[in-house]
Amino acid sequence: MSTESHKPSVHVQAYHRRDVEDFPPQPVLSCEGVDVSYGDFRAVRNIDLDFGLNEITALIGPSGCGKSTLLRSLNRMNDLIEGARVDGKVLFHQQDLYGKGVDPIEVRRRIGMVFQKPNPFPKSIYDNVAYGPRVTGMRVSSMDDLVEEALTRAALWDEVKDKLKGSALGLSGGQQQRLCIARTIAVKPDVILMDEPCSALDPIATSRIEDLMQSLRDDYTIVIVTHNMQQAARVADRTAFLTAQVDEHGQRFGALVEFGRTSQIFERPVDERTSDYISGKFG
């Protein structure tokens, strides 16, 4: 089917998103032939993908296509799941994160993650932000200044500066998610992974998080999993579409279908499956 005869229905709103050039991303993080398995089940197969410096990359696709599984492989979060295995290479500044002698704790400091549901610790707002620097032994000249900087970068400082000793659990859902982002950036990562960070939030809180992603992009590489295609169209510089396929043994697995500039993926997809997903024909 020609994509000219069936235009995708998602309108790309570029008031936030940068329309990156046609050249490939300058990779900070790369997948080379990545397979992710749980025991004998290969959930994701043969992923080749580059995540560019100071870009937001969105991973989209139907449920069960391996988006979150792939995301967790980028900072070795899958190590915490019994039986999980990653084959191929995940390169961070050209170093294989699964290579011999690589410390997964340091990997997760350099490549932070924000989860689907806000998960503040049952501590004060201040102690939530200070937690990472303390447990990793970061040398800081002033913890107070670091906490203020992280909360300011997360667009939360003005709302909480007078109640830093109060419980983080007393914040609204959107504030809790921004606190989790502040907690992530407090340890000075290079990459921020976000696994559907707005799915539990209302539209106003979602807008705040999207604006925050835009401001953070100048200093971080961001990878976001989202089921909200309008969100991907608004915030992402590049978009990767994954889908579930079935092998010769009838086993489902996630595979990368198409990757490119967000405007190209949403307006001129090359693969018919991408066009069908974006237009709502499946997924």
pLDDT in tens, 186-227: 999 999 999 999 998 999 999 999 999 999 999 999 999 999
Q: How confident is the model at residue 283 (pLDDT cuts 50, 70, 90)?
A: low
What is the SS3 assignment for 237? coil
pLDDT tens, residue by residue, 186-196: 999 999 999 99
**95-96 and 111-114 strand pairing:** unpaired
pLDDT tens, residue by residue, 60-78: 999 889 999 999 999 999 9
Measure the CA–CA gap between 99 and 89, rounded to whole angstroms: 8
What does the pLDDT read at residue 25? Answer: 80
pTM across the whole model: 0.89
Residue 122: CB atoms within 10 Å = 9
Inform me whether the pLDDT recorded for 3 exceeds 50. Answer: no
Measure the CA–CA gap between 75 and 191, rounded to whole angstroms: 9
* 8 Å CB contact between 35 and 45: yes
Inform me whether the pLDDT recorded for 17 exceeds 60. Answer: no
Mean per-residue pLDDT, 232-239: 96
For the record, the structure tokens of 79 come out as 């190590």
Strand partners, 96: 91
Inform me whether the pLDDT recorded for 97 exceeds 80. Answer: yes
In angstroms, the Cα distances linking 204 to 1, 47, 144, 192 are: 38, 35, 29, 22
**27-38 and 252-261 strand pairing:** unpaired
